[in-house]
Amino acid sequence: MAWEGKLNRIDDNRWEIPEGAVPGMRTNAVIYASEGMIGRIRADNAPLQAANVACLPGIVGSSLAMPDIHWGYGFPIGGVAAVDADGGSISPGGIGFDINCGVRLIRTDLTVGDLGGKVGALVDELYKNVPSGLGSKGLTKIGNREMDDILVNGSEWAVENGYGWERDLEATEDGGRMQGADPATVSDRARKRGIPQLGSLGSGNHFLELDVVSDVYDEAAAKKFGLRKGAVTVTVHCGSRGCGHQVATEYLQEMERYVRSNGVGLPDRQLACAPLGSALGDDYYRAMCCGANYAWANRQMITHWVRESFERVLGGTAEGMGMDMVYDVAHNIAKKERHEVDGHTAEVLVHRKGATRAFAPGRPEISPMYRDVGQPVIIPGDMRAGTYVLVGRKGAMEETFGSTCHGAGRKMSRKAAVGGLRASDVKKEMRDSNIYLRSGSEEGLLEEAPAAYKDVDEVIRVVCAAGLTDKVAKLTPIGVVKG
């Protein structure tokens, strides 16, 4: 089913669904896309979800969608919506099941030549040291007491327990710890799912990627981020595993009951929500903060094992190889922030579901190490195309509540990719691109085949042309571990 409703062109990079196109809309919806992308976006019918989000109680500004938009649960993936922090609604569908799925970038002082022909050995070691795949379990044994600590303290817990360096926290959004977490709002079932999985990559679109900085577009910003052309980097993409999924599942069920019993008018039950300030809405927010902290602890532990893998294969120390973090960004989360709304500054809750925070220079939320240049933004494409490093710009603050895209975005569903592609072709494509690949299953490989994704170059062109971000560097893969 394709979107046949109104979709008016604003300019070269923006399209509007006017208020009233779907009954119950409280505002308009704006989609960021080029003319070449909009046909596929229509065909996916994701514009309907962008319009539905505009029906959310308490929404302020426009319902927004980034150029990586595609069909999701309730919200489109690539969706952004801000609601009034005083009585607006919080919706798990606007955050996603994988709470704080995000991306972390680790730099090095190494070049490919310094690896001494050991790319394959390094990827094999990463594959061995970082558990991946469906249902994968972590390497660390913890109990409920440690789990409480993790849900509250996130990356801080990991660093205090020997998984990484204190300065890693300065290079993590929110310092790797979201305030407001309350373990009492997380069920025993969510804990039981999360405890054995801590420190694991998982499956689906999660990955570890060994890259080389192939292009530098902004020398000053790249220097600030510690990136130089020809240097080897590592990108980590994963989230909160079964813990976050269980939190989302349980609160969605409760909110569906709340919506039915209170007669809340929504065009789609998947938009189930509860008011901020209500017991249910606030409990979910606190539980979401716990899920976010679990995810940051998870990525911090993986960072430790990445460094250990480099040490084992190459013989040096992680410190000596310059394996500092560039940054860690969340792209499935809701955050209380202050933004301009109708000419005045207000506190809002910004839902980002498959969307990344992209604050311009000067915002106090940005780590002091980057505050003068802007927030680093890490945008993976597909496993052949690689990753872009961007920086937040003024247009994002003015138009999108400080938000931009999170990746290339799918153009084929997982089912279509598995049914229409061949694993042998994907493996050959990777070999022909000189990328060493380790993958847990052929089905997982097909789901994440390059052909299943949009052109990340075009996605990046749109968000930069629209003034949301600027390009800093491009990272090209030489090795990939797929979950």
Residues with Cβ within 8 Å of residue 112, at least 6 apart in sequence: 119, 212, 230, 232, 478
Helix 241-262 with 279-314: angle, nearest 10 deg: 160
The Cα–Cα gap between 343 and 346 comes to 9
The gap from C-alpha 378 to its chain's centroid, in whole angstroms, comes to 9
Residues with catalytic function = 406
The Cα–Cα gap between 208 and 454 comes to 20
Which DSSP symbol is given to 226?
T
Indicate the residue type of 345: T
Strands 59-70 and 403-404: unpaired
Written as six digits, the tokens of 475 are 């990272």
Strands 436-439 and 469-482: parallel
Answer whether 221's CB lies under 8 Å from 373's CB.
yes
Indicate the residue type of 115: L
> In the beta sheet, which residues pair with residue 207?
237, 482
Residue 447, CA atoms < 13 Å, CB-side half-sphere: 16
Strand, helix or coil for residue 480: strand
Indicate the residue type of 176: G
The Cα–Cα gap between 314 and 119 comes to 10
Q: Where are the beta strands (DSSP E) in 370-431?
A: 376-380, 387-392, 403-404
